[in-house]
């Protein structure tokens, strides 16, 4: 019996050390056309200033915010209320984008500082207004870590 236990222990030490699977790499950043990049830079600036009114102005009149762990907010007034008191350092980057006619999207990640690993991801659905300016129709985001 001792021989079997010793044999099992030797066999286990000969196996490679078990470890958690490596975390998947975040997609590489893609460059956005200037008109789409403006959406992200305006969002970063307003979030950094904690300016809920400026954030709400980036949305269509009937836009949605669908935040992780909170109920949806629809319309600029509700979006402004949802964003009141929120904000701080933010760096957005795009993983993918597309646009056709007056509809588009940006899928990306976010961190607190440019160059830091992403702490979350987002998808923005976009719609052009009558002047041709891209506005956010929906913003869905969630963190990369699970709640504890």
Per the prediction, the chain carries an average pLDDT of 86
The pLDDT tens digits for 11-61 are 334 444 444 445 567 789 999 999 999 999 999 999 999 999 999 999 999
What SS3 string covers the chain? CHHHHHHHHHHHHHCCCCCCCCCCCCCCCCCCCHHHHHHHHHHHHHHHHCCHHHHHHCEEEEEEEECCCCCCEECHHHHHHHHCCCCCCCEEEEEEEEEECCEEEEEEEEECCCCCCCCEEEEEEEEECCCCCEEEEEEEEEECCCCC
Residue 70: predicted pLDDT: 87
Q: Is the pLDDT of residue 133 over 70?
A: yes
Residue 72 to residue 138: CA distance in whole angstroms: 10
Residue 137 to residue 125: CA distance in whole angstroms: 5
Residue 68: predicted pLDDT: 83
Q: Which of 5-9, 99-103, 107-111 has the lowest mean pLDDT?
A: 5-9
Residue 121 to residue 39: CA distance in whole angstroms: 16
Taking CA 139 as the corner, what is the angle to CA 133 and CA 143, rounded to the nearest 5 degrees? 140
CB 134 within 8 A of CB 122: no
Model-wide pTM > 0.75 = yes
């Amino acid at each position: 019996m001792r021989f079997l236990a010793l044999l099992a222990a030797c066999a286990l030490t000969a196996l490679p050390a078990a470890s958690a699977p490596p975390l998947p790499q975040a997609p590489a950043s893609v460059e956005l056309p200037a008109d789409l990049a403006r959406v992200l830079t305006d969002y970063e600036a307003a979030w950094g200033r904690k300016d809920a009114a400026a954030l709400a102005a980036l949305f269509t009149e009937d836009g949605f915010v669908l935040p992780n762990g909170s109920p949806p907010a629809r319309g600029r007034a509700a979006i402004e209320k949802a964003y009141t008191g929120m904000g701080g350092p933010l760096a957005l980057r795009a993983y993918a984008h597309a646009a056709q006619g007056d509809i588009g999207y940006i899928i990306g990640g976010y961190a607190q500082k440019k160059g830091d690993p992403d702490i979350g991801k987002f998808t923005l659905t976009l719609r052009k207004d009558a002047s041709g300016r891209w506005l956010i129709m929906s913003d869905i985001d969630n963190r990369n870590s699970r709640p504890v």
